[in-house]
Structure 1
C-alpha cells in the first residue's frame, strides 16, 4: 500500500509541475481596462464597462523607431503597463530596431513563446535548444521566426541598412533575462565565474564593469 506521505509528495510534485507549465490565466470577462496604472505583478480592478472607449484599445507608441544609434539596438516593450487594453488578455509585444551590425544579445523569456516578424531589413536570428543545438538563419522582410518559451535566442542586423522587428508574446508579462547581464552583472561569486569560464581576475573584472554599469 502506498503511504500517505508518498501520496502527499506526489501531489505536491504534480501541483508544482502544473504551476510552472501553465501560462497566463484565462480572462473571466471580455476585457479589463484598469482603473489605475497597471503593475505587472498583480491584476488591478477594472473600469466600469460603460466608461471604456475605443481609445483604450489603441496604442500609438511604436510608430517611430527607438533610439538605436548609440548602442546599435533599441527595444520598446509594449505590455499592459503602457497599453492598458492588453490587461488580462495574455499577450504583449515589442518593437526592436537595429542599426547596421546591431545586436540583440542572447536572452530568454521565462514565461512566453515569442514570434518575431521582420518589418524591414535582414536579421541573423536563432535560438539554442536544451540539447545545445542551434537553429539559426538570416530572415528578411516579411518573414517570421518563432522562439520557443524559455529558450535562449538572439538577433543581429546583417544587412546594409537599419532593420526593424515586431515581436509578440503569449504572455502579459513574458519576463526578460539577458544572459551576459545575468551572469556577469548579478553578483555571482567571482571564484565560481573564473572556474566556469576559464577567466582570470583581470578578465572577469573587465566583464563585470561592463555589464554592471548597464
Structure 2
C-alpha cells in the first residue's frame, strides 16, 4: 500500500470512529433553548428543536428546581426523577441528562442498562450496594457510602440496593440527553417473548412463566374514570 494512502486511511478511520462512538452530536452554539413557536419539546420525544434567539434566554432557562423531594415510590422501594430536555429545556443539545433516585431501606433499582449513555452515580446519602456486569459476565460491585461515586459503562447492566438502615439518595448523570432505559426483568417477561423460549432459557415451568408475566407485563389502561 502506498505510504500516503496508509496515512489517509488512518485519518479516515479515526474520524469515522469519533463519529461512531460519540454519544450525542457536538453542539454548534453555546446553548439551544427550544423555541415554543415551533411546538413544544414534549410533542417530539427528545429531538432537537429549533432554538429561540439567544438574546431571549434568561437565567431561569438554565435552572431546574424539580428535584428537591423524592418522586413516587414503586413496589421495589425506588423513586426516580429523570431530568431531560422535556423537563429542563436548558440542557437541550448539551449531551447530558441526570436523575435523582431514592431508595427505601431494602429498596432496589433492578438490573437495567442505558443503551446510549455512560452513567456516573453519586451517593448523596446512605449506603448502597452498587455494581455492573461486563460482557464476560464479571461483576464489579461493592457498597458505596455517602460521598462516593461509581461509573457504569454504556450499555452494561447495572443495579443498586439500599443496604443501610436509613433511606438512600443517589444522583446519576448521563453523557446523553436521551440515554434510554431498559429494565431486564420487564424486557424479558413483560415484552411478549415466546413462552417456550423462556421456559428453555430459564428452566422455568409454564406456571412460573405465567406468574412472572403477570408481575412484569404493562398494566392495561382502564380509560377515563
Q: Same fold (TM over 0.5)?
A: yes
Q: Which of 80, 104, 108 is equivalent to 2:109?
A: 104
The residue that corresponds to 1:126 in the other structure is: 131
Change (3 A) 1:20 1:199: farther
Aligned counterparts of 1:25 and 1:77: Cα–Cα separation in 2: 21
Q: Which of 98, 111, 128 is equivalent to 1:93?
A: 98
Change (3 A) 1:163 1:110: same
Q: Which of 47, 51, 56 is equivalent to 1:51?
A: 56
The runs of 5 or more residues in structure 1 that have no matched partner are 1-13
Change (3 A) 1:209 1:18: farther
Where do residues 61-100 of structure 1 align in structure 2 (5 Å cutoff)? 61-68=66-73, 71-100=76-105
The residue that corresponds to 1:156 in the other structure is: 161
Provide the TM-score with structure 1 as the length reference. 0.89
Change (3 A) 1:91 1:188: same
The residue that corresponds to 1:208 in the other structure is: 213
**Conservation of the 8 A alpha-carbon contact between 2:121 and 2:171:** yes
Aligned counterparts of 2:138 and 2:74: Cα–Cα separation in 1: 32
Q: Following superposition, which runs of at least 4 residues in structure 1 exceed 6 angstroms of deviation?
A: 14-19
Aligned counterparts of 1:202 and 1:15: Cα–Cα separation in 2: 53
Aligned counterparts of 1:45 and 1:141: Cα–Cα separation in 2: 40
**Conservation of the 8 A alpha-carbon contact between 2:46 and 2:86:** no
How many angstroms does 1:213 deviate by?
Answer: 3.6
Aligned counterparts of 2:74 and 2:212: Cα–Cα separation in 1: 23
Aligned counterparts of 2:58 and 2:90: Cα–Cα separation in 1: 10
Alignment size in residue pairs: 203
The residue that corresponds to 1:167 in the other structure is: 172
The residue that corresponds to 2:33 in the other structure is: 33
How many angstroms does 1:35 deviate by?
Answer: 1.4
Give the aligned CA root-mean-square deviation in angstroms.
2.1
The runs of 5 or more residues in structure 2 that have no matched partner are 1-13, 220-225
Aligned counterparts of 1:179 and 1:25: Cα–Cα separation in 2: 28
Provide the TM-score with structure 2 as the length reference. 0.85
Change (3 A) 1:212 1:15: farther
Aligned to 2:110, what secondary structure does the other structure show?
strand
How many angstroms does 1:51 deviate by?
Answer: 1.1
